[in-house]
Amino acid sequence: MSSPQRNHEAPAGPIHPMPLVRLDLVVFRVEAGILQVLLAKRQQAPFKGRLGLPGGVLRIDLDASLETGAQRVAHERLGTALPQVRQVLAVGGAQRDPRAPWAMTVVYRAVLSAQLPVQAGKRVQELVWLDAQQASQDESLAFDHEQLIGQAIAGLRAEVEALQFRPGFMPEEFTLPQLQARCEAILGAALNKVTFRRRIEEAGILKEVPGKLVGGAHRPAQVWRIA
């Protein structure tokens, strides 16, 4: 009885105009113990010349879903694939963007694991890494992007506190001190070494690789992998 066959049946009721739907990206990395966020200098109005999140318009002819759309935007604007994007939230309203009578944005976040080379792509003048904590309070950013960054940081921190590491969060192989340092940078606080290792152990999310890695000029550390 539920046989959706006719794909172009008229919607029950009048056809209403739809808003402009954009996809924006909050891309993080950890550099020198600091959580940084990737911002683009805007080439167009509004907020021309200011810094804002890289993003693009949803293309219903190209994107199979919101998430794959976010991946496409990453490719076009940043020239790289993003590991494990996660949705932050959606915002929208009539006064959001002067280029359209009604505009909304779906925001995704991702963490770059290694030195995935990010390079400016289509319609991006320049890409800049800013301290994420500072950017989340920087009123000079375009739109309400500083608030979106704050929401993205909150979500990322919750995930790290729960030790939910997705593939792509770290390089293929890494040491526990490296992982702990990364977590500390994201959380903005020091973690206890004993507790951290015990929780990792109990979570059972890592497995060791029977090989070692030099750590400068000292005792080498055990190498691990996710899952």
Interacting residue ranges for DNA, rule: CB under 7 A? 175-177, 191-195, 197-199, 212, 214-222
Q: By CB under 8 A, is residue 147 in contact with a copy of itself?
A: no
Comparison of 100 and 130: residue with beta carbon closer to a copy of itself: 100
Determine contact, residues 107/96, Cβ cutoff 8 Å.
Answer: no
* Interatomic CA distance for residues 91 and 103, integer angstroms: 9
State the minimum distance, in angstroms, from the CB of residue 157 to DNA.
Answer: 14
Determine contact, residues 80/116, Cβ cutoff 8 Å.
Answer: yes
Q: By CB under 8 A, is residue 89 in contact with a copy of itself?
A: yes
State the minimum distance, in angstroms, from the CB of residue 49 to a copy of itself.
Answer: 7
Q: Choosing among DNA, a copy of itself, none, which partner's interface includes residue 187 (Cβ < 5 to 8 Å by kind)? A: none
Cα–Cα nearest to 87, from 148, 147, 172, 178: 148
Q: Give the other-Cβ count within 10 Å of 19's Cβ.
A: 16
In one-letter notation, the amino acid at residue 122 is: K
Mark residues 6-35: x for contact with a copy of itself by CB under 8 A, - for none. xxxx-xxx--xxxxxx--------------
* Interatomic CA distance for residues 198 and 223, integer angstroms: 16
Mark residues 29-68: x for contact with a copy of itself by CB under 8 A, - for none. ---------------xxxxxxx------xxxxx-xxxx--
Comparison of 117 and 211: residue with beta carbon closer to DNA: 211
Q: Give the other-Cβ count within 10 Å of 24's Cβ.
A: 22
- Give the residue carrying structure tokens 């995930």: 159
Q: Choosing among DNA, a copy of itself, none, which partner's interface includes residue 219 (Cβ < 5 to 8 Å by kind)? A: DNA
In one-letter notation, the amino acid at residue 17 is: P
Determine contact, residues 33/181, Cβ cutoff 8 Å.
Answer: yes
Spell out the residues 6+ positions from residue 61 whose beta carbon is closer than 8 angstroms to its own.
Answer: none
Q: Which of these segments, 72-80, 90-98, 188-196, 207-215, binds a copy of itself (CB under 8 A)? A: 90-98
Q: By CB under 8 A, is residue 90 in contact with a copy of itself?
A: yes
Q: For binding to a copy of itself (CB under 8 A), which residues are involved? A: 1-2, 4-9, 11-13, 16-21, 44-50, 57-61, 63-66, 87, 89-95, 98-102, 104, 106, 123
